[in-house]
Amino acid sequence: MPEGNEVPVSRMKSGQSGKITSIQGGPGIASRLSALGIRQGQTVTKISSMLLRGPITIQSGQTRIAIGYGMANKIFVELD
């Protein structure tokens, strides 16, 4: 369960960075995110998001990916 100082990627502001502390959900979502290079302990930066729960673009290292709002809501980070 996320602690008080953790927020989901979906609630980050554009340009904010944070270290992934947990990924909520089953093994399916964890393996899919791992295949995309998103793992616990990595730092991610929110690049942009669309209005009304559209896709969210995040960057991890030199890789940028777009993920759905629901998936972004399951990735919890501790903000820098």
Give the CA count within 13 Å in the CB-facing half-sphere of 54: 6
| Whether pTM exceeds 0.85 | yes
Chain segment 6-54, per-residue pLDDT in tens: 999 999 999 999 999 999 988 999 999 999 889 999 999 999 988 778 8
Which residue's entry shows tokens 């990735």?
A: 75
DSSP 12: S
Residue of 14 and 4 predicted with greater confidence: 14
Architecture in CATH for domain 6-79: Roll (2.30)
| Closest C-alpha to 10, from 68, 78, 79 | 68
Give the CA count within 13 Å in the CB-facing half-sphere of 76: 12
Residue 25 in tokens: 């959900």
Answer yes or no: is pLDDT of 3 > 80.
no
Answer yes or no: is pLDDT of 2 > 70.
no
Chain segment 41-65, per-residue pLDDT in tens: 999 999 998 877 889 999 999 999 9
Residue 67 in tokens: 């993920």
